[in-house]
Amino acid sequence: GAMELAGKVAVLVLLVGLVAADEPPKVEVYSRKRAVAGEENTLNCFVSGFHPPKIDITLLKNGQPMSDVKYADMSFNEKWYFQRLVYVPFTPQKGDTYACRVVHSALPEPQVFQW
């Protein structure tokens, strides 16, 4: 019944909590293909190895959040650390700066990773 299920979920959460310590994310910012000014591309921010799963990932252009950003499903590896790909179509131009800002409880403050 529902109570039994709730008990199982609680045990699972407890196990996950024991297995994985708070771990800050590893962040990679890269374009899908070689960047050429004026040519369409995709900007990727791959964030991996973090725990707990609550995380805030923002792609920035010249310091401002970008629109049309896509979030792939969050997944986790065998050690219960989480990973997520965030990506956006973009056309790089000379003089524009791109970055990925990550907010996570295992980081002392938001971190910005430049592309």
Spatial CA neighbour of 31 closest among 94, 103, 87, 76 = 87
- Its pTM stands at 0.80
Residues of the chain with pLDDT under 70: 1-20
For 90-101, what is each residue's pLDDT tens digit?
Answer: 999 999 999 999
Looking at 3.40.50.2020, 3.90.1300.10, 3.50.50.60, 2.60.40.10, the CATH number of the domain 21-114 comes to 2.60.40.10
Q: Give domain limits for the chain.
A: 21-114
Work out the burial of residue 95: count CB atoms within 10 Å of its CB; fewer than 13 is exposed, 13-18 middle, 19 or more buried: exposed
